[in-house]
Amino acid sequence: MKKIAVLASGEGTNLEAILEAAERGRISAQVVLVISDRKKAPALERARRRGIEPLHLDPRPYRGREEYDQALLAVLRRAGIDLVVLAGFMRLLSPVLVQAFPGRIMNIHPALLPAFPGTSGVEEALNYGVKVTGCTVHFVDEGLDTGPIILQETVPVLQDDTVKTLHMRIQAVEHRLYPRAIELFCQDQLRVEGRRCFIESR
């Protein structure tokens, strides 16, 4: 069984969806690590409630991104992690980490990439006036939300949407899409050629 680490900075609703999918056997993998850069992230409590003692890795003692990522990498290696899942982890990973896990780091983004990358994808899509947005699960490379796309799904923007209502509907889709992408990885069904990610049948 593959070993997964989930990295989260915030609410942790995606973490929760992944943990639930694993508990129900919809993901054939074990979440062995939950790591947060923020001590007060509700994600930490969600992990505890499901029987996982999370790790708070505070960035403050480290001199910059690379040093922090070295520490992260040491933890991931020690645990024998196969797949790193970013679930609302609001830090850009340095090449140190990306190169250590080529094709083995996933991220979820609340917009249809390559549109609206970065930390305000929902707000920027709403303010731009798009009629359709959505979410994207992609492999992480060294850029900002630029890696090969694994799965995408659309979500319509409604007339009376606010950032909050739109984000809630996007997240409902994320909670379905992310476990599916993880399971495809676990079943070795994802093949990347250049920018394109193909899903192979079993």
Pull the structure tokens for residue 190. Answer: 């994802």
| Closest by Cα among 123, 135, 189, 193 to 161 | 123
Segments of 77-125 assigned E as strands: 83-86, 105-109
Smallest distance from ligand GAR to CB 7, Å: 11
**DSSP state letters, 58-78:** -STTSSSHHHHHHHHHHHHHH
| Closest by Cα among 97, 103, 129, 98 to 116 | 129
Residues in region 141-160 near ligand GAR by CB under 6 A: none
| Closest by Cα among 48, 33, 149 to 82 | 33
Let me know if 109 is a catalytic residue: yes
The rounded distance, in Å, linking the Cα atoms of 14 and 176 is 9
Only segment of 4-12, 45-53, 55-63, 180-188 that touches ligand GAR (CB under 6 A): 4-12
Nearer to ligand GAR, 2 or 175 (CB): 175
Residues in region 39-78 near ligand GAR by CB under 6 A: 43
Residue choice 4, 18, 22, 87 for contact with ligand GAR (CB under 6 A): 87
Q: Is residue 133 part of the contact set for ligand GAR (CB under 6 A)? A: no
Residue choice 2, 4, 13, 83 for contact with ligand GAR (CB under 6 A): 13
Q: Is residue 179 part of the contact set for ligand GAR (CB under 6 A)? A: no
Q: What residue ranges bind ligand GAR (CB under 6 A)?
A: 8, 10-14, 43, 87-88, 108-110, 119, 121, 171, 174
